[in-house]
Amino acid sequence: MYDLSSIIIKDNPVILGIESSCDETAAAVIRGRKLLSSKIISSATEQAKFGGVVPEIASRAHTEAVDEVVRQAVEEAGLTLKDIDAVAVTYGAGLLGALLVGLSFAKSLAYTLNVPLIAVNHIRGHMAAAYLVDEELKPPFITLLASGGHTAILHTKTYTDFEILGGTSDDAAGEAFDKVARVLGLSYPGGVNVERLALNGENSVPLPKCQVKNTQVLQFSYSGLKTAVINYCHNKEQKGEEVDKENVACSFQHAAVDPLVKNAVALALKLGVKTVTAGGGVIANGYLRATLEEECKKAGLKLILPEKKYCTDNAAMIAAEGLIQYKAGNFAPLSINARAQIPLK
């Protein structure tokens, strides 16, 4: 019988994190804020054959991999399933079929072990990755969030409360990178290939910055920037002129990244916050990381930047957010369902 009435909240619980929102089947184990293991089985190579993620293929891959990846993570941590104090799992946002695989497995495991099930918002997982970088990190701090589905600057006031200071009014940064990659004829995943192409280019193509001007609330727009890249390339082609793809990639990268970094640093200074963190797949971009490091250093701000492998989808960040929710006693019922979309707040 599933009964949590006698559960005692521990200071440094062992939490198993499970992530299956897209094309990565991942599991990780933490003890407190110490990361003990992190394993990923990816179907990205298979998805690349189709130019992007095919939900049915992703779901099937998760079904085949989830048991194995959890076994690997627990074994690498030097533990057994009996040592697990809670199971944290992504319940949204993401591909519904893919989410259901991880969530169903986590429910079964939590029930069998009679430990709390913690339902994690994938995006909050990205935000929590910074806690594993610096075990002494405490709010308040400014977070630059840039992923495939969300782009925002946040003021994290407490472990469970944050304010959205600015966000995108349409596409997210990660979406824009992928769409521009397709325009330039680059393969999936688009973001990393745009970055590689940009390394040999110059910021010489006139493109609009992603920040929306003259609005009361800080807003970014990637739809217009994406369209500007498409129009530039099409105009060149119609005139029979060669498109310098390296310069386009470099210029797009500057236009997409610079306003995010500038505003994150400016807001930290404005609010008197001394620390900046970052999370989300786009934070793996080398130009963004270097620019953010440089601007924080100039401003005298402390920067907590997760390793690239913990910016893209992984289970360590899910476990980290799971720890926050565990400490707050926010446990999920076994009846909880997966959700394709979840508001950031």
pLDDT digits (tens, 9 = 90+) for 37-62: 999 998 767 767 777 778 788 899 99
* Cβ atoms 337, 19 nearer than 8 A: no
The residue behind tokens 């495991």 is 109
- Alpha-helical regions (H) of the chain: 44-48, 55-76, 96-113, 122-128, 130-133, 173-183, 190-198, 223-238, 245-271, 286-299, 316-327
Beta-bridge partners for 100: none
Edge-first strand listing for the sheet containing 275-279? 211-212, 218-220, 162-168, 151-156, 141-146, 275-279, 302-304
Which residues touch 9 (CB under 8 Å, ≥6 apart)?
326, 327, 329
Res 337: pLDDT: 97
pLDDT tier for residue 14 given thresholds of 50, 70 and 90: very high
pLDDT tier for residue 6 given thresholds of 50, 70 and 90: confident
Strands 151-156 and 162-168: antiparallel
* Rounded-to-integer distance, Cα 261 and Cα 33, Å: 27
Structure tokens at 90: 């992504």
* Rounded-to-integer distance, Cα 198 and Cα 37, Å: 33
Q: Closest by alpha carbon to 288, among 133, 212, 136, 177?
A: 177
Q: Is it the case that residue 85 has pLDDT exceeding 80?
A: yes
Q: Is the full-model pTM beyond 0.85?
A: yes
Q: Closest by alpha carbon to 243, among 285, 201, 208?
A: 201
pLDDT digits (tens, 9 = 90+) for 193-240: 999 999 999 999 999 989 888 777 899 999 999 999 999 999 999 999
310-316 average pLDDT score = 96
pLDDT tier for residue 345 given thresholds of 50, 70 and 90: confident
Q: How many residues does the chain have?
A: 345
Q: Closest by alpha carbon to 133, among 36, 33, 282?
A: 33
* Cβ atoms 158, 245 nearer than 8 A: no
pLDDT tier for residue 344 given thresholds of 50, 70 and 90: confident
* Cβ atoms 305, 133 nearer than 8 A: yes
The residue behind tokens 């192409």 is 197
305-318 average pLDDT score = 96
What is the enclosing helix (H) or strand (E) of 151?
strand 151-156
Res 50: pLDDT: 72
Residue 301 amino acid letter: L
